[in-house]
Chain A
């Protein structure tokens, strides 16, 4: 098992129960998920799941193969070795007072984050970036008192025109695993 965090992309049919199948698989095989993000893909009727798995605790190749066995999973790719862009979004509600507000706003600026809401005693900040950037901001803000934190988990894709997942009909779908 490798020490790196693996980013696994799965194109799945957009049907009731798919998330349950994926979650059930991870639970029963003891795979540890760092994060799982899911939303519509560019193809109507299909969703894309981005799953981050810790290679130190989980056999990533098994994750890929077991996911691939699910009928409603069209294609699974581990893009960790590829040149990828990866982003995460977080909403952070921080305690603020007139004396701390400007300092929080300065930190927000440095991180190119934005302020979504200002209340008399709190601020809601939105930040986008890779996991490290989001975590750094969270750590900096912790000193002011974080009231609520929501993170989306990583979404990612390979740079350049050739995506890891070709559209239906264009590719070999699951045959890639046929070794």
Chain B
């Protein structure tokens, strides 16, 4: 069947089961947009800035596990995707970016809106393509989906010259890919698994550190089986949050720079670390020398290059987490580690890292806790970056699999709103809350119009403290309170919301919090709440950069309104 390049691209997307595309048209990509109405299966959502398209595709991908698609035109359109693609790359999210390029005979001539986007995105994509022939479109699309979604997922960019869109050729979508240079190892090596099982069976103080790999691999049940059978406490990285229910008696929450003191202490005291689908990021390990000094380390990851990159490990296992854990669980013997778990529980009582101090002021932590309460822990939380992100990680209790979406690796402010839009489009039946700071929110605030035009019912909570809060916190702690360029004025968010056409509420007191959240939930469409919170609240615990994971600054001891959640470990 003969088609033009634009039709071939759309048909390929349809063949891959794509239902939604986030994009922004422009000159070079016009031939593609012109044929879009011929493919009603492809819902196009017009963003207000291409960065929003990339983040939305990323949010969609993380929420659904399917590839998220974004379109942008050549030159500035493609450039504007870069931050979004990089965010997806650092967090292993399968985004497929389709960019238009100037016509072939203009390439290399510095033509109008020409940019070498494949050159620019080499370090931030899993792979990318500059297509030069319409007859290659089907094969390249097939490859792109395969590369983006298998192994360690990641973004793929396909750059297509304008005249390739209009060239005609025969179209046949390939049934399979043939990539000699790409063959991810999915089954763990049996000998390594055997070694790992022996270490687990012999361990006295084992601890699991679970990362986003568990979520990508959907190995929730397998992780639970391992933890319960071998009775191992489960600690997660930031992006690992929601891979294991936080109401589980074996859950000890997040480790790292703003992790729970008891999680950090447990890692430090452990005699065995079982690292699953995580990459020993510096925010998770703090100072890497002396990390888990008493422990042997088992490292399970699908990316062989992550093994030994930051840390030497005793037993490396390259493979898909789900497969590896299935094999491993067969060789694990039932164990109890009551004393060890009681020890961590003891630390949890001595270091109530999720406690919130008693005050009449409206604390951002309190807001998060109340959103958890009203949503019964069933919401998908999409955060910005900085204090709002850390409070969201600490004070919402994630019991539902894959319910936290956050830019962990790149730490992209402005991710929250477009990613929440993408997540909501992917999961229309879920309640999606965008937790933003007043800084990050203003970076991509234009996407409010996207939510309104396409009726995407995200609920937005701005934790408005009038500062770039995390940077201010560092200035307070390390720069002698010299608040340079961190005090931040914003618009009147209520009027702004009204101008965009969505209802909004301002909340200044604790008493207003629950009714406001309830009102937002009851409203059919998108809704914004501007929580005017205590301006100089800090995120604790905190491990100072360069310090060991045990050198923890904790919240100044004050009267506590909310303690840590009580649990019953007697039924272990």
Given contacts A17-B118, A74-B181, A178-B189, A62 and B318 within 8 Å (CB-CB): no
Q: Which residue of chain B is the closest to A12 with respect to CB atoms?
A: B181
B185 within 8 A of A: yes
In angstroms, Cα B234 to Cα A15, docked, is: 45
Cβ B308 vs Cβ A168 within 8 A: no
List residues of chain B with CB within 8 A of the CB of A175. 183, 185
**CB < 8 Å: which of A12, A13, A28, A69 contacts B305?**
A69
Cβ A28 vs Cβ B123 within 8 A: yes
**CB < 8 Å: which of A16, A20, A71, A179 contacts B318?**
A179
Cβ A168 vs Cβ B123 within 8 A: no
Cβ A179 vs Cβ B123 within 8 A: no
Cβ A20 vs Cβ B122 within 8 A: yes
**CB < 8 Å: which of A16, A21, A72, A177 contacts B304?**
A177
A173 within 8 A of B: yes
In angstroms, Cα B304 to Cα A179, docked, is: 8
A64 smallest CB distance to B (angstroms): 9
Q: What are the nearest 10 A-B pairs in CB distance? A: A178-B185, A65-B305, A71-B127, A74-B181, A177-B304, A24-B122, A174-B183, A71-B182, A179-B189, A74-B180
Q: Which residue of chain B is the closest to A21 with respect to CB atoms?
A: B122
B532 smallest CB distance to A (angstroms): 42
List residues of chain B with CB within 8 A of the CB of A179. 189, 192, 304, 307, 316-318
Q: Which residue of chain A is the closest to B308 with respect to CB atoms?
A: A61
Cβ A68 vs Cβ B123 within 8 A: no
Q: Which residue of chain A is the closest to B309 with respect to CB atoms?
A: A62
**CB < 8 Å: which of B147, B181, B185, B317 contacts A177?**
B185
| Chain B residues within 8 Å of A, Cβ to Cβ | 118-119, 122-123, 126-127, 130, 147, 179-183, 185, 187, 189, 192, 303-305, 307-309, 316-319
Cβ B147 vs Cβ A71 within 8 A: yes
List residues of chain B with CB within 8 A of the CB of A61. 308
B318 smallest CB distance to A (angstroms): 6
In angstroms, Cα B126 to Cα A24, docked, is: 13
In angstroms, Cα B181 to Cα A72, docked, is: 6
A73 within 8 A of B: yes
Cβ A71 vs Cβ B122 within 8 A: no
A-B contact pairs, 9 of them (CB 8 A): A13-B180, A20-B119, A65-B304, A68-B305, A71-B182, A168-B180, A174-B181, A179-B192, A179-B318
Q: Which residue of chain A is the closest to B179 with respect to CB atoms?
A: A71
In angstroms, Cα B108 to Cα A16, docked, is: 14
A66 within 8 A of B: yes
In angstroms, Cα B179 to Cα A70, docked, is: 11
List residues of chain A with CB within 8 A of the CB of B118. 17
How many residues on chain A are close to B (CB under 8 Å)? 28
Cβ B122 vs Cβ A69 within 8 A: no
In angstroms, Cα B127 to Cα A21, docked, is: 10
List residues of chain B with CB within 8 A of the CB of A75. 181
In angstroms, Cα B40 to Cα A87, docked, is: 61
A144-179 residues at the B interface, CB under 8 angstroms = 168, 173-175, 177-179
Cβ A66 vs Cβ B180 within 8 A: no
A173 smallest CB distance to B (angstroms): 6
Q: Which residue of chain B is the closest to A24 with respect to CB atoms?
A: B122
- Select the residue from B127, B181, B183 with max chain A CB neighbours within 10 A: B181
List residues of chain A with CB within 8 A of the CB of B185. 174-175, 177-178
Q: Which residue of chain A is the closest to B185 with respect to CB atoms?
A: A178
A73-103 residues at the B interface, CB under 8 angstroms = 73-75
Cβ A71 vs Cβ B305 within 8 A: no
A16 smallest CB distance to B (angstroms): 8
In angstroms, Cα B118 to Cα A28, docked, is: 16
Q: Contact string, A23-40, partner B, CB cutoff 8 A, digits 1/0?
A: 011001000000000000
List residues of chain B with CB within 8 A of the CB of A16. 130
In angstroms, Cα B118 to Cα A151, docked, is: 31
In angstroms, Cα B119 to Cα A173, docked, is: 27
Q: Which residue of chain B is the closest to A63 with respect to CB atoms?
A: B305
In angstroms, Cα B182 to Cα A168, docked, is: 12
Cβ A173 vs Cβ B305 within 8 A: no
In angstroms, Cα B180 to Cα A168, docked, is: 7
List residues of chain B with CB within 8 A of the CB of A62. 305, 308-309
Cβ B122 vs Cβ A73 within 8 A: no
19 more A-B residue pairs beyond the given contacts A66-B305, A179-B304, A179-B317, with a C-beta to C-beta distance below 8 A: A17-B122, A17-B130, A20-B119, A61-B308, A62-B309, A65-B305, A65-B307, A69-B303, A71-B147, A71-B182, A72-B181, A74-B181, A174-B183, A175-B183, A177-B304, A177-B318, A178-B304, A178-B318, A179-B307
